[in-house]
A and B are shown apart, each in its own frame.
Chain A
Amino acid sequence: MDPSLKEFSLDSMAALVIGAETPVGRAAAIALAEAGAKVLLASQEPGTEKQLKEAAKAAGASGVKTAIRVQDATLRADLSATADLAVKELGGLSILVNALDSPFFGPANAADDATFERVIEANLKTVWMACQEGGRVMLQRGGGVIVNITSVAAERGVPNGSLYCAAKAGVLNLTRALALEWARKNIRVNAIEAGWLDEPRSPAVRKDEFSERLLKYLPDNRLVKPEELAGPLLYLVSPAAGFVTGESIAVDGGLLCRV
């Protein structure tokens, strides 16, 4: 292999992608597989076997081993079993990608306590538990690398987004704290902050005044495609980024430069 590409290769590494039924998780699984990793594709929510199978097929087209695991990422027992399953199915756990995301935008004064619990659980508690369970296995096995996919909403406020912004900022800063805590245990922990995504659950794809104005506001007038997170993800998980930990890379076409 070209020496300039060698340290980006994930050849025969074992990767777990949680949230692989979402567009971002699917793109992550495909990219890791293309770079040579074996991939366990685990879901964020139950009832997603069809999407997982389709994503696994797309990832498996690279000729690497893939497996799927339908699970509920809000359940500790599921995440724990999934982390162990990665070792059983793939022979290890070198890479964990948490593509966990459940967008919610609504007025603060209309949100009840149950809404708080649900948004924080789906966007933050899941990531925390997944890091713990993946970290448990990595600590036992001598190290690894974790990437948490969060959002530019972690960096700035969004009206109607108080809970979502809090959860995403939580992911960003738990990434930093875990990076420091595990820095000398050979586990790197980094984040990717997605800009406004072009995917079905995004408020930016609705045909309304918000999305129209947003598109004009974005520096290059377009949304982020889920596949566009794959390059920075590959860099962060690869040996090429061995000195990068506690870092977050925004993939937003320059949006954060203007705010």
Chain B
Amino acid sequence: MILEKLRLEGKVAIITGAGRGLGRAMAVRFAQAGADVVAAARTRKQLDETAEAVRATGRKCLVVPTDVTRSEQVNAMAEATVKEFGRIDILVNNAGGGEESLGKRIEQITDAEWRRGIDTNLSSQFYACRAVVPHMVRQNRGKIINVASGYGLRGGKHNYMYACAKGGVIQLTRSMALTYAQNNIQTNCIVPGIFPHNEEMMQFFKGGKFIPIGRPGDDAEIAPLAIFLASELSDHMNGELVIIDGGGLAGGITPTGVVPQLQS
């Protein structure tokens, strides 16, 4: 039955940024789908809460406090996974954020801010891909899911680091996909549009009225896409971006809410 092919029974999934929000939601959904989860993030207390939610589904959860901007810690995350479970089937590169430079004029952004942002949003995903790939090659099987952003495809005013980092994630995805296609490792990329995580963001994005579909995304809508990309149903998708943005990137050459008319 085709729906059963979405099950992740017996798989081992590393999820970065799993201490809260979207990462935690994915951890729980992956566990519900049958996967054991390795929850990585900086803050142990938050990870412990994620672990509790994962274990409530009956699956195992290994907590690995990890600063994804430190490659030695990311390597240790992969090693701890293999030591505990013997394998790494799925990597979800979800950690990111810390857009301290967002909205600043270019001349106000310091070198340190730039580097912190690129480290958090791009280098982190590179480190994690590099750390898991030998294990996936050994298994001749693996699924890597990178999380980018619509800003990886479009420009944004006063949005330098984030657009560059997420654009880099998209190119990382493509090069990984090509390089490891023969090793049965599929690398794909989730490209979310506007997903406000709180009321303040919802107001900033004006309730999403400029989004074609008329509303912003809900964090709960990302996890099913991640499950699909981790499952065998996506086995011949490789290096592909799945844009989940309510139609934003399908258009954009006209403002939302008005339509051109010219019929004669």
Which residues in A have some Cβ–Cβ distance to B below 8 Å?
Answer: 1-5, 7-9, 31, 34-36, 62, 175-177, 179-181, 183-184, 195, 219-221, 224-225, 228, 230-232, 234-235, 240-247, 249-254, 256-258
B29 within 8 Å of A by Cβ? yes
Please report the C-alpha to C-alpha distance between residue A113 and residue B181 in the assembled complex, in whole angstroms.
Answer: 41
Interface residue from B6, B177, B239 paired with A8 (Cβ < 8 Å): B6
**Could you say which of B68-76, B77-85, B136-144, B240-248 contacts chain A?**
B240-248
- In the complex the two chains form, is A219's CB within 8 Å of B247's CB? no
- B131 touches A (CB below 8 Å): no
Give the interface centre of B3, B32, B33, B243 by most chain A CB atoms within 10 Å.
B3
Tell me whether A220 and B181 are in contact in the complex, defined as CB-CB below 8 angstroms, given that A31-B2, A176-B251 are known contacts: yes
A-chain residues with CB within 8 Å of residue B124 when the two chains form the complex: none
Q: Give Cα distance in the complex from A179 to B248, angstroms.
A: 10
B2 adjacent to A230 (CB under 8 Å): yes
Known: A234-B233, A257-B178. A243 touches B227 (CB 8 A): no
Q: How long is the Cα–Cα vector from A226 to B237 in the complex, in angstroms?
A: 13
Nearest residue (CB) in A for B174 is A257
1/0 per residue, CB under 8 A from A, across B92-128: the answer is 0000000000000000000000000000000000000
Apart from A180-B247, A240-B228, A257-B174, list 18 A-B contacts with CB within 8 A: A2-B33, A35-B2, A176-B250, A177-B251, A184-B214, A220-B238, A225-B236, A231-B228, A231-B237, A232-B233, A235-B225, A241-B225, A242-B221, A243-B218, A244-B225, A245-B213, A251-B237, A251-B240
Smallest CB–CB gap between B28 and chain A, Å? 9
Q: Does B235 contact A (CB under 8 A)?
A: yes
Residue of B nearest to A242 (CB): B221
Given contacts A219-B181, A234-B233, whether A4 and B212 have CB atoms under 8 Å apart is: no
Partner of B217 from A7, A230, A243 at Cβ < 8 Å: A243
Q: Please give, as numbers and ranges, the residues of chain B lying within 8 Å of A176 by CB-CB distance.
A: 250-251
Q: For A247, give its contact among B4, B182, B227, B243 (CB under 8 Å).
A: B243
Q: Which of B22-66 contact A (CB under 8 A)?
A: 29, 32-34
Q: Quick check: is B11 within 8 A (CB to CB) of the other chain?
A: no
Please tell me if the beta carbons of B239 and A256 are within 8 angstroms of each other in the complex: yes
Instruction: Please report which residues of chain B, range 207-240, place their CB below 8 angstroms from some CB of chain A when the two chains form the complex.
Output: 212-214, 217-218, 221, 224-225, 227-228, 231-240
